[in-house]
Amino acid sequence: MAKKKEIEINFDSQKLNNRKIIEAFPKIELHRHLEGAMHVKTLYDISLKNNLSYPTSFDEFQNEVQFPKDSEPDFLVFLSKFKNNWYKIYEDIEKVCYESVKQLARESIFYIELRFSPEHYALENNFDRIEVTKLVIDACNKAAKEENINVKYLITFNRAKQDQKEMIKLYKKLAKANIPDIVGIDLAGDEIHYPPKDFAKLFTEIYNDGLYKITVHAGEVTPASQIWDAIMFLYASRIGHGVAAIHDQKLQMYLKEKNIALEQCITSNHHTGAWPDEKTHPCAKLIEAGVPVTINTDDPMIQNSDLTDDYLKLIKYFSFDLNKLISINKTAIFSAFIDDKEKVKLWDKYMEKIKEFEKKFSSNSL
Ligand SMILES: [Zn+2]
């Protein structure tokens, strides 16, 4: 694929420490779970409306549904924050999804691949999985259109929530429904007890059908061997997190050669304990080694963070300048699950946004 020429921009790096400026910086994100990215106030309103057994004071509610700020990393506490009992009627789902995408505008997201598990929305009330999938996408697309954000979708299968047989059944239904804007399939959840090989049948089928691209959570809290397995047995063309790649140089060479991008998430990796010290997160070293790395949030509502926070960490801990920030976004767009022509078109549009950003903030002393 023909890649676009690098454009060097002179920009005062001091200004990049300003949250307002980074908030306005156009961003491309490939790894955000809708079920971990609700707007917390919307969720609170729904909890009150549906008389759910959550605290009725907003502060206490926040403490219960979000990972406590500045607390020690804890994978189980992190996972315990994911609940799926919010929704009573379809309108609840629509409201939550619509507001999640509205939030993206506040983070200046230009292009995003949002992922979600139909099970999350459907399980509690046994809603129809395909109907729910369409509903989620329609609600998100409504907000995306209003905010002029480019959004595509990945369907997540959760390792612990369904067995492979059930996954195959749902996958077949999804493939048959041929819902527009779904571009990929993701495997998430407990990677310690459910290694990639357990899902080889499903992913071989997905790969052979050729309808969707594949990304797999691997090497987040497991060794690099699981990243190899996700690529070799599940045909992953991107890897969720993949922090363990830092320990395997042969793998780094392979990722570089095959252009398999890592979807890394600094804040999330800290909270889950996947990489407890943000200051030494492997993203910068992997980029230096030529591995395609993208920076993402994962579950911003649970983490009480946004993509701006992760970008500020790149600047603070790894001295990223504007060109490096543009470069990770270039990696992201060229690793997106859309066709090559669309990538080039979006990249041109993205660079227009960058020019507007530069014009606005080069002269402005905020
Ligand atoms: Zn994830």
Q: Maximum Cα–Cα distance for the chain, whole Å?
A: 59
In angstroms, what is the span from residue 337 Cα to ligand 1's centroid?
Answer: 16
In angstroms, what is the span from residue 204 Cα to ligand 1's centroid?
Answer: 21
Q: State the Cα–Cα distance between residues 161 and 105, nearest whole angstrom.
A: 32
Classify residue 166: in a domain, yes or no.
yes
In angstroms, what is the span from residue 366 Cα to ligand 1's centroid?
Answer: 35
Q: State the Cα–Cα distance between residues 72 and 75, nearest whole angstrom.
A: 10
Q: Structure pTM?
A: 0.95
Q: State the Cα–Cα distance between residues 36 and 300, nearest whole angstrom.
A: 6
In angstroms, what is the span from residue 275 Cα to ligand 1's centroid?
Answer: 14
Predicted pLDDT of residue 5: 53
Predicted pLDDT of residue 295: 98
In angstroms, what is the span from residue 171 Cα to ligand 1's centroid?
Answer: 19
Which parts of the chain are beta strand (E)? 27-33, 109-116, 150-158, 182-188, 213-218, 238-241, 261-264, 293-295
In angstroms, what is the span from residue 15 Cα to ligand 1's centroid?
Answer: 31
Which of 298, 297, 296, 301 shows the shortest CA–CA distance to 99? 301
Q: What angle do CA 298, 303, 306 make, to 5 degrees?
A: 65
Q: State the Cα–Cα distance between residues 308 and 315, nearest whole angstrom.
A: 11
Question: Looking at the 3D structure of the chain, how many domains does it have?
Answer: 1
Q: Which domain holds residue 274?
A: 31-362
In angstroms, what is the span from residue 32 Cα to ligand 1's centroid?
Answer: 7
Domain harbouring 303, CATH code = 3.20.20.140
Q: In this structure, is the dihedral angle defined by the CA atoms of residues 303, 310, 184 and 256, taken in order, positive or negative?
A: negative
Classify residue 313: in a domain, yes or no.
yes
Predicted pLDDT of residue 7: 61
Classify residue 348: in a domain, yes or no.
yes
Classify residue 21: in a domain, yes or no.
no
Residue by residue, pLDDT tens for the chain (366 residues) are 445 555 667 778 888 889 999 999 999 999 999 999 999 999 999 999 999 999 999 999 998 999 887 778 887 788 788 888 899 999 999 999 999 999 999 999 999 999 999 999 999 999 999 999 999 999 999 999 999 999 999 999 999 889 999 999 999 999 999 999 999 999 999 899 999 999 999 999 999 999 999 999 999 999 999 999 999 999 999 999 999 999 999 999 999 999 999 999 999 999 999 998 999 999 999 999 999 999 999 999 999 999 999 999 999 999 999 999 999 999 999 999 999 999 999 999 999 999 999 999 887 554
